[in-house]
Every structure is written in structure tokens, then in C-alpha cells.
Amino acid sequence: MSKDVIGAVMVVGGGISGMQSALDLANSGYYVYLIEESSAIGGVMSQLDKTFPTNDCTM
Amino acid sequence: MEGDPGHFSARVYQTPRYVDISKCTSCADCEAVCPVELQNDYEEGLTTRKAIFKKYTQAIPGTYAIQKTSPAPCKLACPAGLNVQGYVQMVKMGNYKRALEIIMEDLPFPGILGRVCTHGCEDACRRCEVDQPVAIRDLKRLAADQYDPREIQLSSKPKRDEKVAIIGSGPAGLSTGYFLARKGIGSTVFEALPEPGGMLRVGIPEHRLPREVLEKEIEVVTNLGVEIKTNTPFGPNLTIDQLFQQGFKAVYLAIGAHKGIELGVPGENLKGVRQGVAFLKDVALKGTTEIGKKVAIIGGGNVAIDVARSAIRLGAEEVSVIYRRSRDEMPAFKEEIQATLDEGVNIVYLSAPQEILSDDGEVAGVRCIRMELGKTDSSGRRSPIPIPGSEFDLEVDQVISAIGQQPDLSSLTDITGLEFSRWGTIEVNSVSYATDIEGVFAGGDAQAGPWTVIGAVATGKEAAESIERYFDGVDMSAGREIAPIEDVEYRPVDEVEPGVDRVKMPELPAAQRAGNFNQVELGYTEEEGQSEASRCINCSYCSDCGLCVEACLPGAVNHMELPVERDLDVGAVILTSGTDVFDPAKLEQFYLYKHNPNVMTSIEFERILSATGPTNGHLVRRSDDKEPKKIAWLQCVGSRDVNQCDNGYCSSVCCMYAIKEAVIAKEHAPSDLDCAIFNMDIRTFGKDYERYYERSKELGVRFVQARVHTIEEDSNTGNLLLRYATVDGEVLTEEYDMVVLSVGMEPARSAVEMAKEIGIELNQYNFVQSEEVAPVASSKPGIYVAGVFQGPKDIPHSIMEASAAACAAGLDLSSARGSLVKERVFPEEKDITGEEPRIGVFVCNCGTNIGGIANVPEIVDYVKGLPNVVHAEHNMFSCSQDTQEKMVNVIKENNLNRVVVAACSPITHEPLFQETLKDAGLNPFLFDMANIRNQCTWVHSDEKEKATEKSKDLVRMSIARSRYLEPLEYLTVGVNNPALVIGGGISGMTAALGFADQGFPTTLIEKTDELGGSAARQLKKTWKGSDITAYIQGQINKVENHQNITVLKNTEVVDSSGFVGNFETELKVGDLSQTIKHGATVVATGGRATDTDEYLYGQNPRVTQWHDIEENLDKFDDINTVVFINCVGSRDESHPYCSKLCCTASIQEALQVKERFPDARIFVLHRGIRTYGEREDLYREAREKGIIFIKYTPETKPTITEVNGKPEVLVFDAILGRYIQIEADLVNLATAIEPEENNAVTSAFKLPVNEDGFIMEAHVKLRPVDCSTDGVYICGMVHYPKPFEESITQAQAAVSRAVNVLCRQQVNVEPIVSTIDQDLCIGCGLCIKTCSFSAIEAETIEGLGVRAKNISALCKGCGVCAVACPQQAIYMNHFNNDQINAAIKAGKSIA
């Protein structure tokens, strides 16, 4: 691996997976481009009412 | 995308949002005025939203966006490019003024074109895919009927000096004057005839275009200052040179096409034969003309029809139209042809005149010949061919020819430089309409040949643009070529869009039309028009009506925004493109999903349950808004199905969500709700999932093991009749009010396309192909994948993969860490020392969660009267991004120094609001929350007034406490960057390599004397069949030889102290003691299969467990019958959870046996097969290969007795309804998996374990790798039983999470900690004893003796020490006595 690698990552998809990847990378020193097709992030999870098995509010 | 790991260049296409995120305040004013209603896809189409919308209330970014695609086909079809969708929507809303503003942007004559336009837009209308096109022309007319176009304020540029001479006052000439005037350019129109209007006046009869409409709209033009000079023909007395001499700087020639084309048959010059255009001109200018008794009109266009209908009105007794093709080919409007017939005209089709017959020099008849239709000609119509010998005579006394017109060029032929086409029209540049003479332009019928009114307007508009450019001295053609639009994308027409007939135009009865030129089409009423307009499909989504621009006070809307293509330079790529849910409409015949609204998908049902959903969480069914009494869930819709669809895999989540939905539905329902889940197997294989399943049964959720084979509808009630066969073969029918389809997951279609584009390999189901040893790596180095795109999975597993992918990307890029990041900067913190409290209170409605129960405005009014409160308001959602921004401003404007939010739980939302305080320059600890949702409106939802009163109490207490809040500072501590990994199995080794490869020194400890763990000892193949023996050995070698890894075998943890970033851990290495310092800890102590004393295990050598059967296959030579028993000691009282691995492992072993011994009879005795995800393929393969699966229950467990040294198995088969005796040669048991004993580790790092002994994660759903002790992470079986590849995933995830700490120089420590006043302390040690976190230690101070001392970084702020201290020497930051007393005192008035 050459020295001059680019310290940025593109994450494609702003659902729960994309958000988690983006946060982990940003918190460990990388610039992140989070690409989302729709007008807001959150993905399918944001449509769910509560989550199994804790019945926590999804938001 | 191009490039290699470390250096990718990705081109991304960003669709315009049309709303400036930095300006939008999310006030929703735009939404209120937007006319376009679309299906709300966030609400799964259960509600509508506008074309300008916010995806959901708490969406991030929290601003609006506009959905808009290619220009609609109607606009594209219009020669003048009118925004048809825009004005149709405005008519729908009854906003006729705005409709006219939109129309008149491109057209000066709305009322004229609203009557006479040839409406190519309607031919292009996509409503035709449903029924008939929208009556666009008639809607335009309605707008002009309802609002006077002369009153419309037109935008115009400042006046300039140049003037233009326009020759001809027809639609082309007048339009040119109109568009020039709006560009600030004055013009004079010269008209040969005594009245202006050209063909509008002399070509179109009054019954189609009343004169007052024409006059009114000519006034639209003259009101702009355009001068019209009538009776001023162009010619010898008015030449181009003269015009230039008079000071005109440009000339526009639009003399029209007023000369009729001759028939070219004998007798044409007889008296009584004339041209249609001349006939119509006479009628128009004089009101009447000479008319015969029996009139023949030759031609089939609109002129022929206009002449015929005029002739009838003028008193002709018999009128015949002679046309050479059939009715279908007639170029006249269909509705005009019909009207002509209604009015008594006779149309003679397929006939052509051959000679005009005469009697005494006057017309006596027409000799015609019959025609037949031959091949299609260049016009696209079949060409007429005369039939020899078919001549016939029509007796008439007048013949009017209407076969076409052409320009009368007599006034132009002498002009030097003007060129003409072979059709006798003026030649121009096709874009600019400039002739070869400088400053001279031409348009309309004189240039284009006889065309339509709208076509003439279009040429006028273009010429005006050219003339302006000509005056400005810029290129007249640049940028005006019409580029074909590629990839048009329109709003899809819903297959089930209900047909609505086009509203019929009211007409004057045919009997009342004779003898007058009264308008025949009477125009829509407002009601008719609005209903017609609502048939528009809104092809472009947004109609570009522009109302949102006016409504948006901050000026955030910009419809001109363009898409952006950006090239991103990145070192790695992670694909997390997620899932589309299966569309049950594909199986409509079976599920009736589109047909019956009471059949809904699970995700739609989620929205029904949601408090912010379409019913505000009120559980009602869609057909009649009634509360259901019985709901059925049908599992595996679009999953585990290779017959009706190609999704052979299990979607892995549906069982869980169905159970959850059933449980929540029962909570929502006012009365006892019957919830039944129809399933093949219930697959609750995750951590704590089995318990939830069992609890749901206790709550009354019914589980029916059956696949429903027929669904029928009761058309009276909308109920659904489900027919199914029970396990023992009985066929039952049950009636349900609602059916929920548990739809499976599919890779997002757009993601699949993208993956193919960039060359990522996909598997047979279009999930990304990955290896078990590298579960988040795609086939392309440097590109990683996580979540459902990798394979079907639930949220915790997706989150693990997401972190694992971050780790994998980080491994590639560690040398560039920190090179591109930007720190978030907060404003400087305001010093509030000595200030009186100035409190701001924000009360949240939480949609209807709070506002629907409590009287929020009343709470706000109440709060305003409390001491120190200087501001109070309520918000729809206090947590939304727009409210946050508003809050910052409110804090600054009111100079607030305390903030109270009355909303939901501080556990979830306090950090968000604290950040807001920081943004406003306030210390984040000057904040308090009152949880009036969970503690008031949720629990007292049926006592609205009391809920309101209690909310007031809680807010008052919170305000009282807030007066005493003090600013606190974060402590920072330095970070040691080595990592400690406990456990040398596959998880531990993966984690150690993850750290070491990123440059972090790592200590890996293993309690035995070899690395590799249980996988190395037992597992040879993964479930996909990959041989991993070599891989594990390779990993062992890598770990042992890595320069950044210290491997300590025969080593155990003795104790640990310290905190995140600063651990100090004591180890026992062999017999020696060693202490290491590290910043993060990964616990990977693994799990193991338990032994059992059931089923002769340990007594008979033919009974084995797990992978041990492989040895017996070599040991015995009489292998004819093999029995696998699952759930041995699992899912029972001893281990009340599912061990997740066993079903797959048994099937995998069974298949291996089958391969070696093809004739062997193999049985798998199970309690439901849980081959989740793509493991389902193995299950299917096993059944196909003849392996027999028999389901048992805890009540009908199999038994084994030894007969002749062999195990004989007895099991009850519910399908056969009897016991089966199996003389087995081998029996293999899948026993429960337990965590390895790890008490020393859990107690050293203070890690709570659940009742099954697995370490508890910080949050089972959202933080599946973190422990409650900061800086400690878990992976592998110590968390929960999981297969090889999931252990690797979680190990990589643990590294990613830990690196978030290790890569920092320092970490912040929460300041809500206890502080000890050592002067008051008496050294009793009670606090040390009570602290669960070892955050207080004893310290000997000379002269004082033993005193307690805080270790702030370990303190969790629980406050137990402060309570325990008999001396009151311990002070709790943020929860001190003053603060708590104030709250209690304020609460005392509560009765």
C-alpha cells in the first residue's frame, strides 16, 4: 500500500448500516461521504414503529 | 467508479433538492400551497404528501425537498412549451389567476387557444394509459373564462429605445409584439385588413371563437403598448427600406397564408365556385356572404369543416363535404367532425371531385370519383386511389374549395435578399427565424406554411428572443438548439388507478345552432373544470406552479437548481444500500393485496402502529376505519419460496417483526385482539428473541403452523377467509378482519444496478458475494459491504457488519488517518457567573404523542407565569433539526442561561439538546428535561386533564431545579493506545490482527496453550462448505509472527483497574504475574457446546454430539440409518434460548452423511428448522435429497433405548399422527451452546451478564458490540452463539469501535461525577463499599489518616456514595442537594 492513500471513505446508503459505518469512520479519523438516494437518511428502520425485542422507539 | 484500494475516484450524481438546506426553516408554508398530491412513500402509500415535502417529521436533513423529474409530456408536446401541468393544477385548486399567469408566461391568448388549439398536449397525455386524456384545452379556457386575462400583471423588462415593425396582426405577429413588449421592446403592427387578428378573425368562425374573446385578448397585447395600424398593407407603399428609414430597427414578416389552393379540375372558374378562406373572410368581416342552396365543400381539414358549419348557419339547405379518404384519416378535429354531422352536414367519404358541372355558366353539380385506400404514404396515412368507372354526380349550386392555403407572396417577391422555399414560404434560420436580410425576421404561416395557432405563437416567441439578441449584439442561436431529453422519467401510472371519465364539454343543442353564430361549446363550470383537472396524473411530480416560491418567506426554494455531478476521491467504499421489501402485488391472485385494503404488508402495518403514522397509531383497518377484532399474519411472503418467486432464502427478520407487531397491536387494541401468526417455523434465533417469543404466547398471540392455501374475500364485510390445513391434515377456514403479509427483503434494485456497473459480483439472489473468512469484503478489493445488501439480516447484525466494514476500510487507510477530517467548532462558552436565572422552556407536542392528550398551549401559558421563566413556547417536534436551529436563536435573542425541554426521555434525547446549548454558547449542563410523554401522556392517555396537570407539575419541578444548575467542565484524560484481546479463538485472533494491522500494539491472551479456539479444534467446514482448516492455521501463524502482537498463552485475567483509554490489567501468565497498560479491551472468551446426559449420550458410543459424528462415520461400517436430534438442552428450562447454529450444523452433517452413504435413511428430529438467511438453501437441498424432517414438541420429545447395542429412537410424528420407531445406527445430538467460563474477566471489567451467562451489550439492538463499561467490547460466542463468519464480523466490529477510542490523544470523561470533601470525610469506607464501579479508593493522608478519594473517570454518577456518606461529605455534580431539594419543594404542592 503506497503512503499517499486518501483518508476518505464513500458510504453508499444512509440506512442504519450506512450511518453506523459513517460514524465509526468519522470517529476514527476519516472523512466520510455518505451518499443517500432520497432526501433524508434513516432508511427502512426509520419507518419501523418499535424494535424487537426491546420495543424501543425506533427514532 | 475507477481506481484501486486507497485511491478510488467515484462520480456521484446529485439530484437537485430545489430547497436550500441552509435557508429552509421547515415551517411547512410551502407544503400548504402545493397543489400536487402524491403517494407518501415513507407512509407506504397509506397517505398522500405534496410534491414539496419533508420525508418524515424527524428527518435529517430536517428540511423540505421537491420531487421533480423530466418535463411532462404535455409540455414537451406544446410548440410554445406551455407549463400545462402547472396551470391544470392551478385550475384544480380554483386559482385561475395563477393558472393564467402560468399560461401567459408563454402565450398571450389563453381564451383563444382555450377554444381553438389543436391540443397536441392531449395526444401526449399519459392519462391515456388509464382512460382518456385530460381535457387540457378546455381547462385553459375555464381559467380565461373565470379571470380576465387583461388583469394579469405580466413581468416585463425595463423599456428600451429600439422599435420593431411587425407585418401582419395574426397570432404570430401579435405574439411577437407581446413577447417583445415583455422584453422592453416596443413595436408597431401593420395590418392590411380593416380589423386585427389575422386568421383568428377571418379564418375561424364566431361559433368557435366569439369576437369578444378575440378583442379582449388582442387588448392583452395592446395594453403592453403594442400599436396596431389596420388598413395598412405591406407592399409598394410600405417597404422594408421605408420601415428602416422610419426608425424601426427590425422587421418581422408574418403575413400569414391567406391564399386558397386551387382544385385543378375543369369548371373551377365557374361562377359559384370559390375558395373556403375567402368565404370565411367574407363572413367574418361582413357578417354574411353569398350562399347557395346546395353547397359542396371539397376537403377534410378544419377549414372545410368551418366552411360547412358556417354554410349551414347562413341558411344553406344541403351541405356536403367531399373528402377523399375515410373519416379516420380526416385532419379536422374529431369533435368538430361530430358537431358537423350533428348540425346536418353530409360528409361524402372516399370521393374526389373530377369536374365541376355547369348549367348555363353556373354551377350545377360536381362529378366525383370513388376512391379506395392504398399503401401508407409519407403523411402516415393510406393514400387514396381512384376506382376506375366509379364516377357519380352530386347536384349542387355552389362549390367551395378548402383543400389548403398558402402565403400570398405578391408583396414580397421583389424584396432583394429574401429567399423562398419550394412550398412558397419564406426561408429563415430554423432556430433564430432570421431571414438573410439583416434585421428582418419572419414567422407564422408565411414562414412555416399553414400550421396551427399555437405554432404561430411559438414562432413569434422565438423571433422575439432573436430580435432581443440581435439588438444586444449577441449570438442569436447559441444555446437554443432543442436537445432531445434522454431517459425521461415520469411518475409511474398506478396499475390500479381508477378510471374517471373525462368531463364532457357542455354544448349548445344542435337545434339551436341554425341561423346564428352563437358559441357552440359553452365551457366548463368551475365544478366540472376542477374535477376534470384532478384527473391529471402529475407526470413530473412537481407542477412548477411556483406557489411554493411565493409562500417561502426565507426564500429557500429555487426551482432553477441543477443536478450536480461530483467526483469524490476516496480511499475505500462501503456499500450499505439496503433493501427493497418484497412486493406482494406480484402474487396478487393469491394475496388480494391490491384488491382488498384490509390486506397490508408488514411495513404498512408498522406505519399503522406508529404514533406518527397515517392513523396516529390508532389501530383501524383501511376499508372502513373500524377497529379489527382478528388479525392474521402470513409469514414467508416472498421468502423461502422458489415456486411463486425466486427468493429461496429466509429473510431472517420476519418472524421477529411479526411477533412484535402482534404484541404491540394487542397493546393498541382497546378490546381483546386475536392475533394469529401463520408460519412454517418460527425462527427466533437471536439474543433474547426466544424469550420474547415465549412471552408473546403468554400474552395470547397464537401461532399456527400452516401455510394458508386460499384467501377469499367476503365482499359485504371486506373480511378475509383463510383456508388452511393443520399439521394433522384437517382443513379449516377462519375469518379475519385484517391480514398482514410478512414480506421478505430483496436487495435494493438501484443497488443491484450500481453493483453491476462497478463490477461487484453478486450471488444468485443478487446479494453481494462474499467469503466467510471476509464477510464484509466484496469481490473488488477496497470495496466493502454491510447490511442487507450483503444478505438478509436483522438490525444488530447489520450494525455489526457496518462497524466491521468501517474496520476493513480503516485497515486500508490507516496511514492516512486524520489527514482529511475537520473538527466541529462550537462558539465560545458564555460566562454566566452572577447572573439571575433566565429560563427558556420548550414544550414538545411530539406530534400527537403529547399534544394529542395534554393541552400543550395551556402548559405553555402556565409556565410563562413561573419565576425566572423569560420565554416559553411549544413545538411540533422539539427534536427536529429546524426546531434545534430555532432554539439556538431563541437562546441568543432572549439571553437565556437555563433551558428546560418538556418532551420525552433524557436517555434518548438529552445529548441532542445539550449540543444545541453548545451551539448557542451555553454550557450543556445548564439544561434539564421533563419527561411529560412517557410519564404523563403515555401512561394517562385516557385522562387528558390529569395528564395536563401532571405535566405542569413535572415542568414546574424541572424549572425549579434548573434555577440551581451550574456549568460543568468535561475532564479529559490521555489515552494509552495498546489493545488487550482476551481469547485466542477465531474472534480474538481476528480482533488482534485488526488492531495490529492498523499499528496499535496488541496483547492477545489465551488461557490454553494453543490458539485457534473451538473452531480450530472442531470446525472443518463452514456451512457454505469452505474448508477453513488452512485458514485458521494461517491466522495463527500471522498472529504469532506479527510485530505488533504479543501472544500470551496459558494466561488469564486476574484483575483490572482504570477506565476507557487507561486500563491497567493484571495477568497471570503461567505462574507469573504481569501487569499491562492498555486503552481498550476486547473480550472474546468464546462459547462451547454443553454435554448432555440425555439420549444415551456418554453411554452408547453410537451417540455423539455436534461434529463428533464425523469420527463415527469412519469408526462404524453399518451406517444405514442416522438420526439427528436438535434442541438437546436448548430452548428448554436449562437453556431457554436458541443456540442459532445447530439447525444448520445438523443439516450440514446430514448432507455429508448422505453424500458418503447415499442409501442411508437420515432423520432430523427438530423443534422448527431455523436455517435463517441463505442457509435455507441447505434445508431445501436436504429435503430434496430425501432427508426426513420430523418436528417434535417439548411434550413429545423423542426417546432412545438401547437395543442390541444400537440406539432405537421413538418419536411422535404429528403429520402421521402416530409414533415412529427408528432403529438407528448413529445418533447425533445438537446440544446447547454456553459461554465459556469467564467470571474473572467479567468481574475484572465489571461486565454484566444476562441470565444465560452471555455478556450483555450496551444496547441489544443498537450497540451490539459495546459493553456497558466504556472501552470494553465483545465479539464471538461470548456475546451469543453465532457461526464462524458472524464471529469474524463482530471481531472486526469490535476493532472498529475500539479504534474510535485508541486513535485519540485523549478522551472526555463525563463531569456528572461525585466529588469528596476530604475535610469532612471521616474515612469510614462506606462509600468505597457501596460503589459498584470501583470509582472511590482509600487514600492515606498524613496527619488525617485514611480518606476517600474519587477516580472520576470510573464514576458513573449513580449517586449511591452521596447517599451512603454519613458526613454528607460527597457532593454529586449536577444532582446536588440544592438542585434536588428545589425540585422536591416545587413538587410538594402535588396533592
In which region does residue B1048 sit, left (phi positive, over 0), alpha (psi from -120 to 50) or beta (all else)? beta
Q: What is the pLDDT of residues B168-177, one digit of tens each?
A: 999 999 999 9
Q: Which grid coordinates are listed for B588?
A: 396478487
pLDDT above 80: residue B776: yes
User: Do the chains contact at B571 and A13, CB–CB below 8 Å?
Assistant: no
Measured between CA atoms, how close is B815 to chain A, in angstroms? 7
Q: What is the pLDDT of residues B366-400, one digit of tens each?
A: 999 999 999 988 878 889 999 999 999 999 999 99
What value does the mean pLDDT of chain A take?
90
Q: Which grid coordinates are listed for B1046?
A: 504479543
Asked if B90 and B76 count as a contact pair (C-beta separation under 8 A), the reply is no
pLDDT above 50: residue B877: yes
Q: How far apart, in whole angstroms, are the C-alpha atoms of residue B273 and residue B262?
A: 11
* Binding-face residues of B in 775-834 toward A, CB within 8 A: 786-789, 794-795, 798-799, 801-803, 805-807, 809-810, 812-813, 815-822
Residues β-bridged to residue B844: B875
- Radius of gyration of chain A, Cα coordinates, nearest whole angstrom: 15
Q: Which grid coordinates are listed for B1350?
A: 474519587
Residue B500 CB burial class (10 angstroms; 0-12, 13-18, ≥19): middle
Q: Which grid coordinates are listed for B937?
A: 401522556
Q: How far apart, in whole angstroms, are the C-alpha atoms of residue B1379 and residue B1358?
A: 16
Element spanning B1163, H or E:
strand B1161-1166
Asked if B1009 and B1082 count as a contact pair (C-beta separation under 8 A), the reply is no
> In chain B, what residues touch A30 (CB-CB under 8 Å)?
571, 809-810, 813, 816-817, 820-821
Share of chain B above pLDDT 70, in %: 99
Q: Comparing C-alpha atoms, which of B406, B638, B588, B484 is closest to residue B71?
A: B484
Asked if B985 and B1015 count as a contact pair (C-beta separation under 8 A), the reply is yes
What pLDDT score does B462 carry? 95
Collapse the DSSP code of B690 into the 3-class scheme (helix H, G, I; strand E, B; otherwise coil) and give the result.
Answer: helix
Collapse the DSSP code of B609 into the 3-class scheme (helix H, G, I; strand E, B; otherwise coil) and give the result.
Answer: helix
Measured between CA atoms, how close is A44 to chain B, in angstroms? 8
> Mutate which of A1, A2, A4, A9 to disrupt the B interface (most B C-beta within 10 Å)?
A9
Share of chain B above pLDDT 90, in %: 83
Compute the average pLDDT of residues B1062-1069: 96
Q: How far apart, in whole angstroms, are the C-alpha atoms of residue B998 and residue B806?
A: 12
Q: What is the pLDDT of residues B69-124, one digit of tens each?
A: 989 999 999 999 999 999 999 999 999 999 999 999 999 999 999 999 999 999 99
User: Do the chains contact at B1260 and A53, CB–CB below 8 Å?
Assistant: yes
Compute the average pLDDT of residues A7-16: 96
Compute the average pLDDT of residues B910-922: 94
Q: What is the pLDDT of residues B891-905, one digit of tens each?
A: 999 999 999 999 988
Q: Comparing C-alpha atoms, which of B1234, B1252, B1283, B1286 is closest to residue B1087?
A: B1234
Q: How far apart, in whole angstroms, are the C-alpha atoms of residue B382 and residue B1316?
A: 102
Compute the average pLDDT of residues B1006-1030: 87
Dihedral sign from CA coordinates of B696, B700, B703, B709:
negative
pLDDT above 80: residue B494: no
What pLDDT score does B1391 carry? 45
Q: How far apart, in whole angstroms, are the C-alpha atoms of residue B1271 and residue B333?
A: 79
Measured between CA atoms, how close is A9 to chain B, in angstroms? 5
Q: What is the pLDDT of residues B645-704, one digit of tens each?
A: 899 999 999 999 999 999 999 988 888 899 999 999 999 999 999 999 999 999 999 999
Q: How far apart, in whole angstroms, are the C-alpha atoms of residue B71 and residue B362?
A: 57
Which residue type sits at B952? K
Asked if B868 and B963 count as a contact pair (C-beta separation under 8 A), the reply is yes
> In chain B, what residues touch A20 (CB-CB under 8 Å)?
786, 798-799, 802-803, 806
On the CB side of B26, CA atoms within 13 Å amount to: 24
Asked if B1118 and B1161 count as a contact pair (C-beta separation under 8 A), the reply is no
Collapse the DSSP code of B1093 into the 3-class scheme (helix H, G, I; strand E, B; otherwise coil) and give the result.
Answer: coil
Compute the average pLDDT of residues B865-872: 96
Taking CB atoms within 8 Å and a gap of at least 24, the contacts of A33-37 are A33/A8, A33/A9, A33/B12, A33/B568, A33/B570, A35/A10, A35/A11, A35/B12, A37/A13, A37/B750
pLDDT above 60: residue B1357: yes
Q: Comparing C-alpha atoms, which of B570, B581, B991, B585 is closest to residue B813?
A: B570
Q: How far apart, in whole angstroms, are the C-alpha atoms of residue B446 and residue B1034?
A: 86
Q: Is A13 on the interface with B (CB under 8 A)?
A: yes
Which DSSP string do the residues of B1330-1366 spell out, in sequence order?
H-TT--EEEEEETTTEEEEEE-TTT-----HHHHH-T
Q: How far apart, in whole angstroms, are the C-alpha atoms of residue B1299 and residue B1276?
A: 18
Compute the average pLDDT of residues B1347-1354: 89
* pLDDT band for position B554 (cuts 50, 70, 90): confident
Asked if B337 and B309 count as a contact pair (C-beta separation under 8 A), the reply is no
Dihedral sign from CA coordinates of B6, B10, B15, B18:
positive
Collapse the DSSP code of B434 into the 3-class scheme (helix H, G, I; strand E, B; otherwise coil) and give the result.
Answer: strand
Q: Which grid coordinates are listed for B571?
A: 480511499
User: Do the chains contact at B606 and A47, CB–CB below 8 Å?
Assistant: yes
Q: Which grid coordinates are listed for B951?
A: 405535566
CA distances from B337 to B137, B333, B372, B1152 (A): 17, 6, 21, 80
Q: How far apart, in whole angstroms, are the C-alpha atoms of residue B1269 and residue B1161?
A: 51
- Radius of gyration of chain B, Cα coordinates, nearest whole angstrom: 42
User: Do the chains contact at B61 and A26, CB–CB below 8 Å?
Assistant: no
Taking CB atoms within 8 Å and a gap of at least 24, the contacts of B491-498 are B491/B38, B491/B69, B491/B537, B491/B538, B491/B539, B491/B540, B491/B541, B493/B126, B493/B129, B493/B130, B493/B537, B495/B585, B495/B594, B496/B594, B497/B130, B497/B537
* pLDDT band for position A3 (cuts 50, 70, 90): low
Q: Per residue in B517-537, is it b (16+ CB within 10 Å) or e — as a string? A: bebbbebbeeebbbebbbbbb
> In chain A, what residues touch B664 (CB-CB under 8 Å)?
49-50, 55
Nearest to A24 among B575, B656, B803 (CB): B803
CA distances from B72 to B305, B489, B496, B793 (A): 32, 9, 21, 40
Asked if B211 and B115 count as a contact pair (C-beta separation under 8 A), the reply is no
Q: What is the pLDDT of residues B705-733, one digit of tens each?
A: 998 989 999 999 999 999 999 988 899 99
- The phi, psi pair for B498, rounded to 5°, reads -70, 140
Is the peptide bond prior to B133 cis by the omega test (within 30 degrees of 0)?
A: no
Q: Which residue has the cell 428535561?
A: B929
Q: How far apart, in whole angstroms, are the C-alpha atoms of residue B771 and residue B784?
A: 12
Helices (H), B93-228: 96-104, 110-116, 120-124, 136-146, 171-182, 199-202, 211-222
Asked if B947 and B937 count as a contact pair (C-beta separation under 8 A), the reply is yes
What pLDDT score does B234 carry? 92
Q: Comparing C-alpha atoms, which of B428, B339, B1174 is closest to residue B791?
A: B1174
Q: Comparing C-alpha atoms, which of B579, B715, B598, B590 is closest to residue B654?
A: B579
* Binding-face residues of A in 24-53 toward B, CB within 8 A: 24-31, 33, 35, 37-53
Nearest to B607 among A39, A47, A52 (CB): A47
User: Do the chains contact at B806 and A59, CB–CB below 8 Å?
Assistant: no
- For A52, the closest chain B residue by CA position comes to B660
Collapse the DSSP code of B591 into the 3-class scheme (helix H, G, I; strand E, B; otherwise coil) and give the result.
Answer: helix
What value does the mean pLDDT of chain B take?
93
Q: How far apart, in whole angstroms, are the C-alpha atoms of residue B784 and residue B562?
A: 31
User: Do the chains contact at A9 and B813, CB–CB below 8 Å?
Assistant: yes
What pLDDT score does A1 carry? 44
Measured between CA atoms, how close is A42 to chain B, in angstroms? 8
Q: For chain B, how long is the longest CA-to-CA vector? A: 148
Element spanning B1377, H or E:
helix B1377-1387
Q: Comparing C-alpha atoms, which of B96, B141, B133 is closest to residue B115?
A: B141
> In chain B, what residues touch A52 (CB-CB under 8 Å)?
656-657, 659-660, 689, 692, 794, 1261
* Binding-face residues of B in 49-88 toward A, CB within 8 A: 53-56, 58-62, 65
Between A59 and B443, the more confident residue is B443
CB pairs under 8 A between A and B: 226
Measured between CA atoms, how close is A18 to chain B, in angstroms? 5
Q: Which residue has the cell 411547512?
A: B28
Collapse the DSSP code of A46 into the 3-class scheme (helix H, G, I; strand E, B; otherwise coil) and give the result.
Answer: helix
Which residue type sits at B777? A
User: Do the chains contact at B798 and A16, CB–CB below 8 Å?
Assistant: yes
- CA B536, B553, B105 angle in degrees (round to 5)? 45
In which region does residue B1205 sit, left (phi positive, over 0), alpha (psi from -120 to 50) or beta (all else)? left
pLDDT above 90: residue B1308: no
> In chain A, what residues touch B574 (CB-CB under 8 Å)?
9-12, 18, 21
